[in-house]
């Protein structure tokens, strides 16, 4: 944090403003945790009237630093010419596919976080966790349904399998490192069914040639 040479007047004004502020109501739902948090607009609605009454101005400007992280600089001003300034920054996750959208989201979060800190207001911060989770959390895979499990099982029941396996299904599960057919990813179903049928056709052609 940086300040002007003197901060007695701005500190008194900030104390006055903080005495007028009540913690913002939770208004937005975090889609990942189903919990609510106060968004930037709500924090501004709570903070702005108190700051105005105490003659405090606030400026927030986004930028990037030399390391490439997104930075928001928050400057608190007072008619006396005194000021308080601080910065907060975070890197955009490398896995984000839309850099502009990710930067906008991060700037909004950093603005809200910094403004709340200056105003000394408390808020639930679940959406902050979302910044990491959106980019890095691996979604739960969607597995094939009961009908597809039955279809695949019936197809495998007519397949040959090597020695050391209890069945073609056992061979299939060990080949793909799964415990049961219920763990076959839905997105792979069609490809795996085609592979099983191809294997059957190849085995049939081989047996016909041998005969």
Locate the domains of the chain by residue range: 2-136, 146-210
pLDDT one-digit tens code per residue, 132-184: 434 444 455 688 999 999 999 998 888 877 677 888 888 888 877 888 999 88
Q: Which residue has the higher pLDDT, 62 or 39?
A: 62
Those residues with Cβ within 8 angstroms of residue 178's Cβ, 6 or more apart along the chain or in another chain: 184
Q: Which of 153, 162, 167 is nearest to 196 (CA)?
A: 153
Beta bridge partners of 77: 57, 83
Helix residue spans in 33-181 (DSSP H):
40-53, 99-119, 126-136, 146-157, 168-175
The pLDDT of residue 32: 40
Rounded to whole angstroms, the Cα distance separating 40 from 199 reads 58
Q: For 80-108, b where at least 16 C-beta lie within 10 A, e where not — what string?
A: eebbbeebbbbebeeebeeeeebeebbbb
Rounded to whole angstroms, the Cα distance separating 36 from 129 reads 13
Confidence (pTM): 0.52
Is it the case that residue 25 has pLDDT exceeding 60? no
Unique residue bearing structure tokens 């403004």 = 115
């Amino acid at each position: 944090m940086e300040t002007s040479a003197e901060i007695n007047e701005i500190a008194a004004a900030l104390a006055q403003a903080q005495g007028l502020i009540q913690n913002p109501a939770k208004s937005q739902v975090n889609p990942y945790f189903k919990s609510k948090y106060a968004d930037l607009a709500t924090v501004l609605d709570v903070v702005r009237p108190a700051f105005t009454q105490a003659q405090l101005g606030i400026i927030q400007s986004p930028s990037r630093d030399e390391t490439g992280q997104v930075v928001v600089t928050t400057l608190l001003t007072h008619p006396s010419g005194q000021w308080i300034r601080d910065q907060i920054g975070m890197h955009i996750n490398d896995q984000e596919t839309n850099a502009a959208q990710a930067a906008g989201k991060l700037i909004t979060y950093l603005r809200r976080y910094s403004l709340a800190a200056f105003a000394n207001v408390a808020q639930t911060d679940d959406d902050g966790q979302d910044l990491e989770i959106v980019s890095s959390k691996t979604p739960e895979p969607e597995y094939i349904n009961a009908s597809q499990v039955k279809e695949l099982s019936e197809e495998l029941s007519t397949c040959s399998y090597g020695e050391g396996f209890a069945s073609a299904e056992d061979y299939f599960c060990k080949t793909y490192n799964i415990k049961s057919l219920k763990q076959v990813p839905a997105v792979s179903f069609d490809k795996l069914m085609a592979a099983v049928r191809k294997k059957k056709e190849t085995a049939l052609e081989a047996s016909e040639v041998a005969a």
